[in-house]
Amino acid sequence: MREEVEVSEINLVDMVKLLWSKAWIICISTILAAVLFLSGTVLFVVPQYQAEALLYVNNSSVSSGSSEIIVSGEIDAAKKLVDVYVIICELPSTLETVIQKAGLDMSVETLAQKVTAEAVNDTEVFQIKVTDSDPQRAARIANIFTEVLPDKIASIVDGSSVRIMNYATVPTTRSSPSYTTNTLLGAVVGLVLSCGVIVVIDIFLDKVKNVEMLTRKYKIPVLAEIPDLYDQRSTSKKYRYYGYSQASQSVKGGTSE
């Protein structure tokens, strides 16, 4: 015997109407999720501050008092040295020296997670960024790096040096988290989840709630609608009959509205 499989089709127009009818639920869910994400960010996420210091890479053949013309080859060589300097900046021995000079109570691994070094726009300038929950400590660590790196680099790489372009200043604004971004993220999560729950419930709901559900979901023509006589709220409602007059007469003793 061939089994009949019932396939439930999802109509886009009906889905839009469904979501529109539940717009108040979606709005409340979106607002609550946004407030929840914002509250969680303010209460449980520690603000982080980022201090930055800039250093310039140059070859020993190019000095401040020299009248030599800086050729493009020397500049290219300086750019390539930036990658080497970044590695030196992240060496455990360099980090250990910074910890000792700054008097930090943290491990080398912890400091490594707070520090990033990278070239600026593919130039011979590289930047040291220190992220910490204390803005003053972040600036102090970044400036200690500018003191340690020149001697460290000179002891490893011959024929090159580092010049400090800009010392780190105490940051006045947090680098993370972003309250606006997290609030918008919460609103999007609330919107998507509320819409998803409404759609899933409608798809798997097998209880007839109203006439619209019969006509929309099950495609069944409605001949009559009888209110719940046990519901006190329905006693003031008028009987509504649809379809054949014979059906209405049999229900209401031969009279129709």
> In the structure, what pLDDT confidence band is assigned to residue 1 with cuts at 50, 70 and 90?
very low
- Give the Cα-Cα-Cα angle 253, 254, 257 (nearest 5 degrees): 100
> In the structure, what pLDDT confidence band is assigned to residue 27 with cuts at 50, 70 and 90?
very high
Q: What is the pLDDT of residues 56-114, one digit of tens each?
A: 876 554 444 444 444 555 556 666 778 888 888 889 999 999 999 989 999 999 999 99
Q: For residue 228, give the amino acid letter.
A: D
Other beta carbons within 10 Å of 185 = 16
Comparing CA positions, the residue from 147, 149, 93 lying closest to residue 117 is 149
Other beta carbons within 10 Å of 228 = 10
- DSSP assignment letter at 60: T
Average pLDDT over residues 125-131: 91
Strand boundaries in 77-223, DSSP class E: 115-119, 125-132, 160-166
> In the structure, what pLDDT confidence band is assigned to residue 7 with cuts at 50, 70 and 90?
very low
Other beta carbons within 10 Å of 219 = 7
Average pLDDT over residues 43-50: 94
Lowest-pLDDT choice from 104-118, 139-153, 209-223: 209-223
- DSSP assignment letter at 233: G
Cα–Cα distance, 111 to 138 (Å, whole number): 11
Other beta carbons within 10 Å of 4 = 6
What are the structural domains, with CATH classification, of the chain? 1-45+177-207 (no CATH), 49-166 (3.30.70.1130), 223-257 (no CATH)
Cα–Cα distance, 99 to 93 (Å, whole number): 10
Cα–Cα distance, 73 to 81 (Å, whole number): 12
> Can you give the pLDDT at residue 32?
96
Q: Is pLDDT larger for residue 233 or for residue 67?
A: 233
> In the structure, what pLDDT confidence band is assigned to residue 223 with cuts at 50, 70 and 90?
confident
User: What is the per-residue DSSP string for 102-129?
Assistant: HT--S-HHHHHHHEEEEESTTSSEEEEE
Q: Are 244 and 223 in contact (CB under 8 A)?
A: yes
Lowest-pLDDT choice from 57-66, 132-141, 182-191: 57-66
Comparing CA positions, the residue from 6, 18, 9 lying closest to residue 196 is 18
Q: Is pLDDT larger for residue 75 or for residue 147?
A: 147
HSE, side-chain direction, 13 A CA sphere, residue 108: 9
What does R_g of the chain's alpha carbons equal in angstroms? 36
Cα–Cα distance, 178 to 193 (Å, whole number): 22
Q: Is the Cα dihedral 208, 214, 217, 219 positive or negative?
A: positive
> Can you give the pLDDT at residue 68?
46
Cα-Cα-Cα-Cα torsion 104, 110, 115, 116, nearest 10 degrees, comes to 160
